Amino acid sequence: MNNSAIGVFDSGLGGLTCVKELNKLIPNENIIYFGDTARIPYGTRSRETIMEYACQDIEFIKKHDVKLIIAACGTVSSVMGMGKTSAGDIPFTGVLLPAAQTACSVTRNGKIGVIGTAATIRSGAYGKAIRGIRPEVSVIGNSCPLFVPLVENGFTERDNPVTKLVVEQYLAPIKKEGVDTLILGCTHYPIIRDAIADYMGEKVTIISSGEEVAKFAFKLLMGKDMLSNREEQGTNTYYTSDSAELFEENALAFLGNSLNGEVHKVGIDELISAANQ
Ligand code: DGL
């Protein structure tokens, strides 16, 4: 048993898709969330910059009493790969392996599509993770750079004509290959899941990387006997590098009805100094 919090971070709000699932699966856990909304997007940046930001995010999370750190960001998870991280002794997971494992277990025709940010697709990390589990599977990837701005600007309705057009543009090459499974390799994309699912058709299984990492975390903590024994509901504490008010306003689209916790602003200088200590 361990009553420390679960630390979750993302370049912005996308990681809240993981928090929503954690709250559903293990409502008695406390969660510390950091969203780097002042520096989003990560997905258009270089490998070096993404690594630098990710290390600062991890160091900031480590300043709290956490028992597990989750990189609920497809970009960070892909660029870091499955190697060593600065999390030290604290268990760490990204979204890569959880999403790849689920995709490999559900595909029937052995064709998996992966969509993500430019950095995620460029890294080839999903392909590597999937072929590490099932070498015979073919992986068709495409980057969807306009999806994050669409989500952040509220173009999220299933029938939004702009979103439908962009979805078709990015997903046509993947659909043409006849995939039966599609990984939403960026944690922002579940917010436009309906538009994506409508275009791909009902025979294609859609996998949300944020949800998968939450399920993975639950099993990991259970396996290590590190789940909380708290009887009452846990609390979420959010940190953001941009306005706390804006975070609160936009977070509801990701979390549904309530934030269940307070939002605090963290300066970028505080992040940098956390990483330099
Ligand atoms: N949530 C981030 C991811 O999963 C996408 C946004 C970004 O480009 O930083 O990749």
State the Cα–Cα distance between residues 196 and 189, nearest whole angstrom.
9
pLDDT for the residue 87: 63
Measured distance CA(222)–CA(21) in Å, rounded: 16
Asked if 217 and 6 count as a contact pair (C-beta separation under 8 A), the reply is: yes
Ligand 1 atom with minimal separation from the 188 CA: 1
Q: Which of 18, 55, 73, 104 is catalytic?
A: 73
Pocket test for ligand 1, best of 9, 19, 40, 143 (most atoms within 8 A of CB): 40
pLDDT tens-place string over residues 238-248: 999 999 999 99
What pLDDT sits at residue 272? 86
The 8-class DSSP code of residue 72 comes to: -
**pLDDT reading at 88 higher than 80:** no
Phi then psi dihedrals of residue 21, to 5 deg: -70, -40
> Ligand 1: distance of its center to the CA of 229 in Å?
33
- For the CA of 10, the closest atom of ligand 1 is 1
Q: Are 214 and 25 in contact (CB under 8 A)?
A: yes
Ligand 1 atom at minimum distance from 73 CA: 4
Which stretches does DSSP call E strand in 107-235? 111-116, 138-143, 181-184, 205-208
Indicate the residue type of 56.
Q
Q: What pLDDT score was predicted for residue 84?
A: 61
Tell me, yes or no, if 55 is annotated catalytic.
no
Q: Between residues 89 and 41, which one has the greater pLDDT?
A: 41
User: Is-catalytic flag, 104?
Assistant: no
Residue 101 token pair? 């494992």
Beta carbon of 37 within 6 Å of any ligand 1 atom = no
- The answer to whether the pTM exceeds 0.85 is yes
241-266: average pLDDT: 92
Nearest CA to ligand 1 atom 7: 41
Give the domains, in start order, of the chain with CATH numbers. Answer: 5-94+211-276 (3.40.50.1860), 97-209 (3.40.50.1860)
Indicate if ligand 1 lies below 6 Å from the C-beta of 45. Answer: no
* pLDDT tens string 99-123: 999 999 999 999 999 999 999 999 9
15: Cβ contacts below 8 Å, ≥ 6 apart: 8, 9, 33, 35, 70, 72, 73, 187, 210
Sheet containing 205-208: which strands, arranged edge to edge?
A: 138-143, 111-116, 181-184, 205-208
- Check if 213 has its Cβ closer than 6 Å to any atom of ligand 1: no
The rounded Å distance from CA 42 to ligand 1 centre is 6
